Amino acid sequence: YSVQKNIWVKVNKDFTRFFMKVGWMKKLDTEVEQYNYRAFPNEFMWELNPSTNEQEDEEAGGGGGEGGNNKGIPPEGHLPLTNALRGTQLLNSILTHPAFADAADDDDDEKNGETERENEQSVSGEADKKKSRLASLRDRLFKPNYSF
């Protein structure tokens, strides 16, 4: 799960963006940018030996990532059997488990703690405090909750 953890950390532990990166969601063909979950198993069909002809790949809808009809290379971090609700809960438990924490994460946490303390000391003025409160409120109100 190291590949999935790296992707999850890169998207700031946001499962919606994680789903898009690992190919669990497909981009809908609409004027507004919208995504929908891929249906298992039909929309999780990947080629083991993708075509080397780029034109054929484009005609097939591209491969992987965020759109198309899956005929190509599966996206990095692709795990089709864990894309259901239990998959989200399972991944959250695995990715946050202490056994998967490494020394680099600990060093980053220490550096982030020092940086946060420095930032707290340097924050001055009502505008900065107001922005901080609004960001905190936004994060609490609009944080997606995938547990049912």
pTM of the shown model: 0.52
pLDDT at 5: 87
Phi and psi at residue 147, in whole multiples of 5°? -95, 140
Supply the pLDDT for residue 92. 84
- Highest mean pLDDT among 28-32, 53-57, 81-85, 117-121 belongs to 28-32
Write the pLDDT tens digit of every residue in 13-66.
888 888 888 888 888 888 888 888 877 777 777 776 666 554 444 444 444 444
Taken in order of first residue, the domains within the chain and their CATH numbers are: 2-101 (1.10.10.1770), 103-148 (no CATH)
Q: 93 is written with which tokens? A: 């438990």
